[in-house]
Amino acid sequence: MEAGTGPLLSTLLGLLLLSTPGTGGANPALVARITDKGLEYAAKEGLLVLQRELQKITLPDFTGDFKIKHLGRGHYEFHSLEVQRCELRGSSLKPLPGQGLSLAISDSSIWVRGKWKASKSFVKFRGSFDLDVKSITISVDLLLGSDPSGRPTVTASRCSSRICDLDVDISGNTRWLLNLFHNQIESKLRKVLENKVCELIQESVTSDLQPYLQTLPVTAEIDHVLGIDYSLVEAPRAMAHMLDVMFKGEIFNRNHRTPPASPTPVMNLPEDSKQMVYFAISNHAFNIASRVYHQAGYLNFSITDDMLPPDSKIRLNTKAFRPFTPQITRRYPDMNMELRGTVVSAPLLNISPGNLSLAPQMEIEGFVLLPSSAPESVFRLSVVTNVFASLTFNNSKVTGMLHPEKAQVKLIDSKVGMFNVNLFQSFLNYYLLNTLYPEVNDELAKGFPLPLPRNIRLHDLDLQIHKDFLYLGANVLYIRV
């Protein structure tokens, strides 16, 4: 079976893992919760694939000798058995607490067609026959875990299948052949089929499902600097009606990875089950990201005269700064300036029901660029603003956008006399709202990707904001290749 033809029991089964002791003790920053509905969908999709695979079952020939009253001995052959069609109808995929999942298929049928040959002495008969194998039930346990690299694993165990009913229609309709079939072939055929089904399942789990699960990213790229670590923290928990998968969810600097300063707190997930899957993202994930952005210098800015358009008449020099500091030219007649903005500390995302907010505190320091010595600091301002964040959940990425409010500016210190703070505040707000925030939003629009295996699309997205975490619900669509 080719790996590309789609896994057996695919889609959300892709999130099922063999539980082995992982990095015990750490809490995940991202939890994916698969509900009954999700498992139901997975089973449905999986069944379609299984159906296709079952049609490829090869069945052996049945040959033997017969001995019939009045006819004596002869040789029979039931050969060229081919599965015509397969219909798997009833399925249920349920969590198996402590182990993984249990899949049960019922009320299913297989249609087989074949040819028969019978010969006695030099008399040969031949014909074709149709088999209607009904009421097939299959049950298999899928054990979930994770390997040392944090990748998911799955093995099938305890597979059993049973055929309850079998209808045969032999051409010619000869009684003796029918009896022959029922006495000598039927039970053998049943056993063969039952074994073949389980064999098929075992093989598919190893060669299709397992590789499919491995398409879940362990690290995903956000941009050329940042990545996110999605390795599994521990074995997934199977509970009465849902399965929780625990991802580390740690954003890191790809050039310079340091362990996060503080551990992730536990998230208490609500009992929602309207949708197929829910992703809980701890605000800790954002705060780690914020720290990383901060340390990588993303949150600082510097404005110098050469950054203004060359044909702009307004420059960044002491003469142009007089409206804010009229007396600056007394000491620095006509020199270029630099404004350096730093975020005082990494802004923390405050997630509370209804809104997400950040309160970054910035300092802007003004420097005069002296011709022959180091820049001299001439004033310092503190800038405080409330920023509200909105998140959109776009297909497979979470993207954010900041909606800033007006910044409040206060003068900390001026070495050049009077400072027109209100006027500066209004120009700063104009710059922030028209240039800086749009640039930040462009950065946030890159989003960070959710851990999903291949060919999965999310829709019906629903975002809830809880205390300390975001809860994103979605329904799943598996794109059949």
Partner 1 sequence: MEPVLGLLLVLLTPAHASPAMPEPCELDEQGVHCSCNFSDPQPDWSNAFLCAGARDVEFYGGGRSLEPFLKRVDTEADLGQFTDVVRSLPWQRLTVGDARVPAPMLFGVLRMLGYSGLKELTLENLEVTSTTLPPLQEATGPDLNTLSLSNVSWATEDGWLAELQQWLKPGLKVLRIAQAHSLNFSCAQVRVFPSLVTLDLSDNPELGERGLISALCQRKFPALQVLALRNTGMETASGVCSVLAAASVQLQGLDLSHNSLRHTASAPGCDWPSKLNSLNLSFTELQQVPQGLPTKLNVLDLSYNQLDSKPRPDELPKVDNLLLEGNPFLEYEPHSGKYDSVVVTAPVRLTLAVSVSGTLAVLQGAGLFA
**Residues in contact with partner 1 by the rule CB under 8 A:** 303, 307-309, 311-314, 316, 319-320, 322-324, 326-327, 330, 406, 418, 420, 422-423, 425-427, 429-431, 433-435
Choose between 138 and 407: whose C-beta lies nearer to partner 1. 407
Choose between 423 and 445: whose C-beta lies nearer to partner 1. 423
φ/ψ of 120, rounded to 5, equals: -135, 125
To the nearest whole angstrom, how small is the minimum distance from the Cβ of residue 312 to partner 1? 4
To the nearest whole angstrom, how small is the minimum distance from the Cβ of residue 336 to partner 1? 14
Choose between 263 and 323: whose C-beta lies nearer to partner 1. 323
Choose between 104 and 436: whose C-beta lies nearer to partner 1. 436
30 CB neighbour count, 10 Å cutoff: 28
To the nearest whole angstrom, how small is the minimum distance from the Cβ of residue 296 to partner 1? 23
To the nearest whole angstrom, how small is the minimum distance from the Cβ of residue 347 to partner 1? 23
Choose between 364 and 472: whose C-beta lies nearer to partner 1. 364
- Say whether 461 sits in a helix, a strand or coil: strand
Starting at the edge strand found earlier in the chain, the sheet holding 237-238 runs 237-238, 242-247, 30-35, 277-282, 469-478, 456-466
Instruction: Give just the sign of the alpha carbon dihedral 94, 96, 101, 103.
Output: negative
Choose between 176 and 427: whose C-beta lies nearer to partner 1. 427
To the nearest whole angstrom, how small is the minimum distance from the Cβ of residue 309 to partner 1? 7
- Say whether 219 sits in a helix, a strand or coil: strand
Dist. CA 102–CA 154, nearest whole Å: 12
To the nearest whole angstrom, how small is the minimum distance from the Cβ of residue 335 to partner 1? 16
By the 10 Å C-beta count (0-12 exposed, 13-18 middle, 19+ buried), 377 is classed as middle
- Say whether 110 sits in a helix, a strand or coil: strand
Choose between 267 and 303: whose C-beta lies nearer to partner 1. 303
What one-letter code names the amino acid at 400? Answer: G
The length of the chain is: 481
CA 107 to chain centre: 32
Task: Find where tokens 């503080």 sit.
Answer: 262
To the nearest whole angstrom, how small is the minimum distance from the Cβ of residue 320 to partner 1? 7
Q: CB–CB of 366/373 below 8 Å?
A: no
